[in-house]
Structure 1
């Protein structure tokens, strides 16, 4: 059976298994390719789904992946529940990072953007969807509510890529985190009101019921969060079951809330996540990591399903002047006006110009839009509905168009625009050195001398004093704390080195920054001062890469520092190469090398220096003897 016959055959168990495998392979494959190419994952995932769905159908006559037929064939209706549950988990994960204190820490600009700019963008977006895109009023209101969100998963890579820090970077970061659940709540509230109006029920009476149901959904989510916190703190659950219990409870919370009122489940799971986020629960970081892993799988699957489910005729109908007009309105009218008016007096002119342009949409925008598009279509087909939602089928293509255009345009323009407006860092990302001591201070000095900006971090003010007196950039506080998420500019560094005397702490720091920077960019000192394996040492899988070499631990480095060893920087030439350096300084440790492209590479086991003309070696070794000292040593030996 060829691929076309296979695609046209009835959806049996074999095809269902194949479809699930294909969705997983395309989604995770697109995520991996995005990592390798340093490209936006959201675009590659959407392209993968389009290639397997409508594009394949245009070329071969039938899609390789047809989610509508596979999941809804034979009288089943599995596609919408699958997407709904995925969106529920995604919104829970968004709520899990939303803390009430974030609004205080993010500053007045973000607070005003949420409470003033959000509703303003919703209203202006509704007008754009109605008059530019040609959607009916109901679809416009729901769709515009979702378009308020800006995806933090898209924004964070853009901030690192553009070297945008300071107030503008913090604004974009916290706006994305806070707006995710806010936009979803706008859509839920508007859809419920529209559903009541469409079925001819009393808006006043049913509206009160909706408010009551929403309150019950919030209360249910808070109750689930409180119960989990109580259970975890009392030790009623083992550690290895905590993450699975959370996952199962999200589904249960959503299902129970849906029994109270349709679509209230999204409100309940968001409240559930926010309750856990604000509980100061020990181990919340591990739970958040598990949720992020699950969210990656769900995001990948949902994106492939949604794009593969688009029909070629719907895409063709969406590629019109109305779509272009809608995008232009959203980019050049809705976003700038909502930012400029809401943040007037809190931002500088250059900051307002940049933030009025940058607003990439992400997974929540597409997933929630597609969910409500399906709900509106179903509502329009009901026999008791007074409305026909003429634009519901266009919501998903419009959402994808918004994602593609904003991710691509903002991704390519944020760097040049930030530099043009004087908001981007002119220097390359530096290195975060965690743990201040005489050795790390001297390392920071030599890094600064070769053009790499170091940040010395420590939670002891007294230990930081010599670094401050030397004019080095310092961070006072705990880098693992939530406070550091706000005060520490993460765009200022792209590598982390744990240099404290506490080996487990260094490993903890490495584990904390590895997901953000990549495990290949986090380092720490050797666990002990001997090359022999210590069974009591922290396992290699839970620590950073070893700096210098095994057996070169904190104690031996500090001892040699007090013996007079110093840091040096040596630029290799054609006449003086790496071999000459090793012969000249056999006892010296080569800590790092500055390569020709200006990047710093920290060395260690299996990471030997490459050398080459123009490369600068950073070494730590005994002071090189003067000529008179050499003569004296020679005379004594003779």
Structure 2
């Protein structure tokens, strides 16, 4: 009994140390220019049996389970942040990259691995399937907070969020073909379309139901709403997977629907999902770092083979896949070069590399080690240079400003009000007006005005200037009317309207 308590206490202590170390490394990550996930993996490798020896971990099944759970949370958080207005124009290229692009990448790398890794052709194609997709966790982590142009950034995020089903399908299909030689390939292709279709359909339906549930249910504590949203994400994954659909795709679609809808406690849900996603990234990459043994990973054969495949993947397979799958989709060469370079590998390939281990495929340990090395190489080479490349190619936009969001009143009891934060733009209709001249809906009142980082106590004669942040306390019933008022644009002045005919040159002058 005493030994079990000591073991539990040790586990809690080590978990706390790993989480603290993971959070602290995010600061070093920004300063060193190295993606945080690389440092998380390094923590796991250092703490493991080949490092300091604090933790011995070689359970691929547990690592796979934790990895899938973490990916659900990460995809959910990424989908919440995806704006439909940015996503809609890039759906076609994103889906093309997520399907055709992954297939091309997997095929090229698979045939190359046949020569480099000295595996059978089927095992080599399995390797290609594992590393063929762009990783959502890596892309979301690297692009978060960067000022890369919306069209390119959204394309990458949508691709990485929707290509996991293709990678999972190809990996599972190849394992099935290897272990069951009589497998019907055409039935596998049909199964893929069923999985994708069910993923999108269930994700859409679940999203609409969750939005209604969040808005109508009245819980005793506001802190329960974020937990409920995460529970719905996990439920969506589970139901979709049991129905033989793509659970990961369903979660991503669910999150997009929720993120682009008006929901109660929106800000709390977003912030909780962001913090939870960070925690799951730390946990997942540390666990994956524990799973690998550095003495095997950094052996000369693995290093040489890993470098060859990494270079081929980065400079040949990914660019061919990007250029081929986006033909006639109005991307410039600079944009395609950036999309090619930003095809980061991360947690998904490592998690998928545990599938052959569990299926006891011949050469599975070599596949796992080389996949791990390829992921590290991709993160270190591509992940550290994405922002610089975007700047050199002229693909960075203006610095991102704080978007409109709700700051809920956190209370242990039931509340029916929210605090709206809104940044006043130059063309806003209320610019230049005083608060007493603005006809706010009943039940709405301005609580604070932030101007140049200074708090201004609102009074009737307080004039609204561009760049001000207004904090408006409103009832949930009046919230849509308040938003419409704040988003209303200024009418063009008569003087400006009269200038336009004068700017028309020769036609009117010749007519006169």
CA apart distance, 1:294: 0.9
Whether 1:247 and 2:234 are equivalent positions in the alignment is: no
Equivalent residue runs for 1:91-106 within 5 Å? 91-98=75-82, 102-106=86-90
Equivalent residue runs for 1:136-215 within 5 Å? 136-147=123-134, 151-157=139-145, 159-160=146-147, 169-200=149-180, 202-203=183-184, 207=188, 212=194
Return 397-406 or 214-223, whichever deviates more.
214-223
* 1:288 counterpart residue number: 270
**8 A contact 2:433–2:464 mirrored in 1:** no
* 2:504 counterpart residue number: none
Structure 1 residues 374 and 114, CA gap change in structure 2 (3 angstroms)? closer
Question: Considering only aligned residues, what root-mean-square deviation do their CA atoms show, in Å?
Answer: 4.4
Higher relative contact order (CA 8 A, sep 6+): 2
Whether 1:377 and 2:360 are equivalent positions in the alignment is: no
* 1:320 counterpart residue number: 303
Structure 1 residues 125 and 279, CA gap change in structure 2 (3 angstroms)? farther
* 2:376 counterpart residue number: 400
Q: 1:12 aligns with which of 7, 12, 16?
A: 7
Structure 1 residues 36 and 311, CA gap change in structure 2 (3 angstroms)? same
Q: Distance between the aligned counterparts of 1:119 and 1:258, measured in 2?
A: 22
* 1:572-618 per-position Cα deviation (integer Å, ceiling 9, x unaligned): xxxxxxxxxxxxxxxxxxxxxxxxxxxxxxxxxxxxxxxxxxxxxxx
* 2:341 counterpart residue number: 358
CA apart distance, 1:128: 4.4
* 2:38 counterpart residue number: 43
Q: Distance between the aligned counterparts of 2:460 and 2:399, measured in 1?
A: 22
Structure 2 regions of 5+ residues with no counterpart? 405-422, 439-444, 466-512
* 1:310 counterpart residue number: 292
Q: Secondary structure at the match of 2:341?
A: coil
CA apart distance, 1:406: 1.2
Q: Secondary structure at the match of 1:391?
A: helix
Q: What TM-score do you get using the length of structure 2 for normalisation?
A: 0.68
Q: Distance between the aligned counterparts of 1:340 and 1:268, measured in 2?
A: 28
**Larger Rg belongs to:** 1
Structure 1 regions of 5+ residues with no counterpart? 1-5, 382-386, 436-454, 464-498, 506-535, 560-638
Q: Distance between the aligned counterparts of 1:155 and 1:459, measured in 2?
A: 29
* 1:110-146 per-position Cα deviation (integer Å, ceiling 9, x unaligned): 6765565454444434444544566633432322332
* 1:362-394 per-position Cα deviation (integer Å, ceiling 9, x unaligned): xxx42222221112210126xxxxx66452443
Q: What TM-score do you get using the length of structure 1 for normalisation?
A: 0.56
**8 A contact 1:254–1:266 mirrored in 2:** yes
**8 A contact 1:30–1:48 mirrored in 2:** no
Whether 1:53 and 2:48 are equivalent positions in the alignment is: yes
Q: 1:80 aligns with which of 47, 51, 64?
A: 64
* 1:329-373 per-position Cα deviation (integer Å, ceiling 9, x unaligned): 1222223333344445624444444x2553152xxx422222211
Q: Secondary structure at the match of 1:145?
A: coil
